[in-house]
């Protein structure tokens, strides 16, 4: 039967080519895992709002643009809150706060020192690439209500990644050293956050390898766009495994 799906993008199969099976959204095990994942996303969006406002203080000439990005994050937060409510799930916010605490601490420290490069790497590159990977994978296995919301959200996340990428590209000569150092300190945190969320994500039918693959695509693409060469990108990506 003819479908309207684009032939190049096979969203109904996993990376091994097996058909994707939707989970039972009303199962207790699903709701239990969702209470943590939903909280992570809500907390992540909330902190993203705060972070873009903070970055606006460090780059006053871009404050209006950054405020717009921040407002989008607030909208995302509301959207994901509605997704939890729709499934009858109470988000486990204390869990999510702890989940982000190390990365949050590193952002706060960089902000207090006025380290724009580190702030942008943490929020606009690492967190956004993490969100893009999670949302792209989630869209394939989400309930219809959440799928629609997440599709709208992920489009914005590319704009956020792009903002950071373009600023870093324009300032690459002066920020490369700080970028590499900040990456060394923060990419391993992203990897460990992914490890922590993998079991719950699996219950939502989100595959860990697929999450890692999507993350690497978004992350490496942005480093290419910034103007880093293959060797520098390989070195930076390897910080996740050593
Ligand atoms: C900034 O725009 C967004 C920051 C949020 C980062 C969240 C990463 C989430 C990882 C867990 C998988 C989520 C699946 C989606 C479920 C609603
Ligand atoms: Fe967002
Ligand atoms: Fe974002």
Domain with 126 in it: what CATH number? 1.20.1260.10
3-class DSSP state of 19: strand
Q: Which residues pair with 13 in a beta bridge?
A: 19
Q: What is the pLDDT, as a whole number, of residue 7?
A: 45
pLDDT at 4 over 50: no
| Residue 8 domain-assigned (yes or no) | no
Mean pLDDT for 114-127 is 98
CB of 52 sitting under 6 A from ligand 1: no
Q: What is the pLDDT, as a whole number, of residue 14?
A: 63
Q: What is the pLDDT, as a whole number, of residue 15?
A: 63
Helix and strand numbers (H, E) in the chain are 9, 0
CB of 45 sitting under 6 A from ligand 1: yes
CA distance 82 to 38: 10
pLDDT at 196 over 70: yes
Question: Which residue CA neighbors atom 8 of ligand 1 most closely?
Answer: 131
Residues of the domain holding 67: 28-240
pLDDT at 17 over 90: no
Within 8 A by CB and 6+ apart from 5, the residues are: 11, 12
| Rounded distance from Cα 129 to ligand 2 centre (Å) | 11
Question: Which residue CA neighbors atom 1 of ligand 1 most closely?
Answer: 45
| Kind and range of the H or E run holding 120 | helix 116-120
Confidence of residue 241 (pLDDT cuts 50, 70, 90): confident
| Residue 9 domain-assigned (yes or no) | no
CA distance 191 to 169: 24
Q: Which residues pair with 19 in a beta bridge?
A: 13
Mean pLDDT for 15-22 is 69
CB of 201 sitting under 6 A from ligand 1: yes
| Residue 158 domain-assigned (yes or no) | yes
> How many domains would you assign to the chain?
1
| Rounded distance from Cα 222 to ligand 2 centre (Å) | 17
CB of 39 sitting under 6 A from ligand 1: no
Q: What is the pLDDT, as a whole number, of residue 10?
A: 59
CB of 127 sitting under 6 A from ligand 1: yes
Q: What is the pLDDT, as a whole number, of residue 3?
A: 42
**194 Cα nearest atom in ligand 1:** 10
| Residue 11 domain-assigned (yes or no) | no
| Residue 21 domain-assigned (yes or no) | no
CB of 41 sitting under 6 A from ligand 1: yes
CA distance 107 to 103: 6
CA distance 159 to 126: 14
């Amino acid at each position: 039967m003819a479908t309207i799906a684009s032939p190049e993008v096979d969203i109904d199969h996993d990376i091994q080519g097996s058909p994707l099976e939707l989970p039972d959204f009303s199962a207790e095990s699903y709701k239990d895992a969702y209470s943590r994942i939903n909280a992570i996303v809500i907390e992540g969006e909330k902190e993203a709002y705060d972070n873009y406002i903070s970055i606006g203080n460090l780059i006053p000439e871009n404050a209006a643009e950054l405020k717009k990005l921040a407002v989008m994050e607030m909208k995302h937060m509301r959207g994901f809150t509605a997704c939890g409510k729709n499934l009858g799930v109470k988000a486990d916010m204390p869990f999510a706060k702890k989940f982000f605490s190390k990365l949050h601490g590193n952002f706060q420290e960089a902000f207090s020192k006025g380290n724009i490069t580190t702030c942008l790497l943490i929020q606009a590159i690492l967190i956004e690439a993490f969100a893009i990977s999670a949302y792209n994978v989630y869209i394939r296995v989400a309930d219809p209500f959440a799928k629609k919301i997440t599709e709208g959200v992920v489009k914005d996340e590319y704009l956020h990644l792009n903002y950071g990428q373009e600023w870093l590209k324009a300032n690459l000569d002066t920020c490369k050293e700080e970028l590499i150092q900040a990456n060394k300190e923060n990419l391993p945190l992203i990897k460990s956050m992914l490890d922590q969320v993998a079991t719950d994500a699996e219950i939502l039918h989100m595959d860990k390898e697929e999450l890692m693959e999507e993350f690497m695509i978004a992350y490496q693409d942005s480093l290419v766009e910034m103007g880093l060469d293959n060797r520098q990108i390989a070195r930076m990506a390897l910080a996740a495994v050593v």
